[in-house]
């Protein structure tokens, strides 16, 4: 099957847009220092993704929508890491106290921004995020973060599964290689979310103000 035939096959099966919701929240997933330090195994050369996310965050704050940051942290014994910690060796950088697990430079949490600490890929799994968003009256989420093929994808699927309209901001997500980044954006857009541009997102948020 040629690439054109493949795309047409997907368009026939998966070509639905759900659109932005009425009461969104912005989620910045795992923008930790390790992804930006060339000496760290996690390094992924994703400065552009962070810059995009910070621009979206600024407009979101102006629109007065909830902004939520997620990070990963493990007990020094790693007892709460389970099979994920066992499988993914770089998670050792998220043991409590390791500077690589801190938020990246430029992403300083504000007093009115919620921080969700997690141990697994999804921002929703094992956390209070879904119930918190529901209690706030949020009907949709805008996802940014790292990595596209990992925690962003996992959070995207769970957001949709919890009933939230889900948009993934393409430029504000990053991965260590273009292939998994592009493939996962394609797949999320086909099945779970609308993959949107930074410009689309900014225009939507400005319309809320």
Q: DSSP strand E in 17-123: where? A: 24-29, 67-72, 114-118
Greatest C-alpha distance within the chain: 52
Q: Quick check: bond before 147 cis, omega within 30?
A: yes
Q: Active-site residue 156, yes or no?
A: no
Three-state secondary structure call for residue 195 = strand
Give the pair of three-digit tokens for residue 163: 């009933």
Residue of 32, 40, 151, 156 with catalytic role? 151
CA separation for the pair 166, 18 (Å, rounded): 8
Q: Is the C-alpha dihedral spanning 8, 13, 27, 99 positive or negative? A: negative
- Those residues whose C-beta lies under 8 Å from the C-beta of residue 49, and which sit 6 or more positions away, are 144, 145, 146, 171, 172, 173, 174
Provide the annotated active-site residues: 151
């Amino acid at each position: 099957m040629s690439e054109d035939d493949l795309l047409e096959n997907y368009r026939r099966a998966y070509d639905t847009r759900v659109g932005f919701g009425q009461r969104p929240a912005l989620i910045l997933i795992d923008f930790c220092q390790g992804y930006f330090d060339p000496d760290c195994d996690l390094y992924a050369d994703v400065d552009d993704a962070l810059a995009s996310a910070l621009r979206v965050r600024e407009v979101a704050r102006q629109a007065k929508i909830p902004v939520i940051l997620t990070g990963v942290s493990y007990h020094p014994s790693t007892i709460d890491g389970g099979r994920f910690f066992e499988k993914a060796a770089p998670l050792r950088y998220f043991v409590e106290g390791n500077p690589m697990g801190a938020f990246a430079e430029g992403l300083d949490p504000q007093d009115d921004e919620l921080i969700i600490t997690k141990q697994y890929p999804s921002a929703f799994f094992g956390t209070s995020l879904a119930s918190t968003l529901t209690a706030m009256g949020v009907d949709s989420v805008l996802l940014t973060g790292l990595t596209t093929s990992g925690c962003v994808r996992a959070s995207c699927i769970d957001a949709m599964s919890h009933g939230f309209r889900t948009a993934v901001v393409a430029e504000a997500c990053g991965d260590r290689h273009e292939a998994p980044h592009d493939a996962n954006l394609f797949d999320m857009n086909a099945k779970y979310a609308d993959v949107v541009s930074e410009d689309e997102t900014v225009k939507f948020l400005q319309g809320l103000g």
